[in-house]
Amino acid sequence: METIDAVTALAALAQDNRLDVFRLLVQAGPDGLPAGSVAHELGLAPNTLTFHFDRLRQAGLVTVRRDGRSMIYAARFEVMTDLLGFLTDNCCGGKPELCAPTVCKPATKTKPKTRETAP
């Protein structure tokens, strides 16, 4: 992934409504969601949503297909993981073992409890 593509993708995600939209699509999975569902779920005006979908699509983060009157948007997961990989690329000089234990670990799916206790 090139820097310019990463910047475009990050900029697409760096807006509260678009971030909500994208995360909704990530949670929806590969089948995606119709634009109307997203609009209803997030309380966005349809034209505003089109604007945001365009940004996400130009950034390569989502795809669209038509299904009858509906447009179905879906996250492009491989682009997302490419982006995450780009951020952590060559972490700690490519020798993560030299860093503190958890420093260069890829995203850990944390399921935080009410409080963390030191081991």
Partner DNA sequence: TCCATATTTCAACGATTATTGAAATATTGA
Partner DNA sequence: TCAATATTTCAATAATCGTTGAAATATGGA
- Displacement of CA 20 from its chain's centroid (Å): 9
Question: Quick check: 71 binds DNA (CB under 7 A)?
Answer: yes
- Displacement of CA 77 from its chain's centroid (Å): 8
Question: Quick check: 64 binds DNA (CB under 7 A)?
Answer: yes
Nearer to DNA, 14 or 92 (CB): 14
Nearer to DNA, 44 or 80 (CB): 44
Token output for 25: 């699509």
Residues in the chain, overall count? 119
Rounded to whole angstroms, the Cα distance separating 75 from 63 reads: 7
Which residues would be at the binding site for a copy of itself (CB under 8 A)? Answer: 3-4, 6-7, 10-11, 13-16, 19-20, 22-23, 26-30, 77-78, 80-82, 84-94, 98-100, 102-110
Strand pairing partners for 63? 74
Binding segment for DNA (CB under 7 A), chosen from 45-53, 76-84, 99-107, 109-117, is: 45-53
| Tokens 């995360």, residue located | 23
The binding site for DNA (CB under 7 A) comprises 11, 14-18, 34-36, 39, 45-55, 64, 66, 68-71
